[in-house]
Amino acid sequence: MPQYCACRGAQGVAELVPGVLFIDEVHALDAECFAFLGRALESPLAPTVILATNRGLARVRGGGGISPHGVPVDLLDRLVIVRTAPPTPAEAAQVLALRAAVEGVALDAPALAALAAAAGDASLRHAVGLLSPAAVLARAAGRESVTDADVASARSLFWDAKTSAAALAAGAGGYVT
């Protein structure tokens, strides 16, 4: 018989079935959801649960305490934590080349290097997000292939979080608070 959990802030109801449960942004769950997960892991139908977060020490919502990754310590003790690292420039280039091929975006070698640099400066997610605008800029210029100039233009138009935060901090006196 399926078990159900209605977590505050969740969209709808979760149903536990055998298999794999992937929860991204796990730090956003509340104490009630974590209590459900704890019970679910003790169930004969316990799925393989993969929790993902980018938080260090964070407050457990509805639990009041600070805990690593925003996960209650009693649940954290039952986890195997896999440390991930940002991709190397070569790995980022490989991912970006594959994503460009899937999206049908032709990149010249300097453009691929510029996107890999963007992944190193900001994030791989941001670099992947630059593919489409860079392709639009190339097409607008009458080119079939994206160049490093297109990537530079896309980076100047579409900032990553760090660039945006730095610009906001630099101009802090000019904003209404």
pLDDT in tens for each of the 177 residues of the chain? 444 454 544 455 556 566 888 888 888 888 888 888 888 888 887 878 888 888 888 889 887 788 999 899 888 888 888 888 889 999 999 999 999 999 999 999 999 999 999 999 999 999 999 999 999 999 999 999 999 999 999 999 999 999 999 998 888 777 776
What pLDDT is stored for residue 7 in this prediction? 52
Instruction: Assess contact for 16 and 47: CB atoms under 8 A.
Output: yes
Alpha carbons 109 and 113: distance in angstroms, whole number: 6
- Taking the C-alpha atoms of residue 21 and residue 2, their distance in angstroms, rounded to an integer, is 14
Q: Delineate the domains of the chain, giving CATH numbers in brackets.
A: 3-76 (3.40.50.300), 89-166 (1.10.8.60)
Beta-bridge mates of residue 57: 68
pTM: predicted TM-score of the whole model, two decimal places: 0.66
The 3-class SS string of the chain reads CCEEECCCCCCCCEEECCCEEEECCHHHCEHHHHHHHHHHHCCCCCCEEEECCCCCEEECECCCCEEECCCCHHHHCCCCCCCCCCCCHHHHHHHHHHHHHHHCCEECHHHHHHHHHHHHHCCHHHHHHHHHHHHHHHHHCCCCEECHHHHHHHHHHCCCHHHHHHHHHHCHHHCCC
Question: Contact at 8 Å (CB) between 23 and 4?
Answer: no
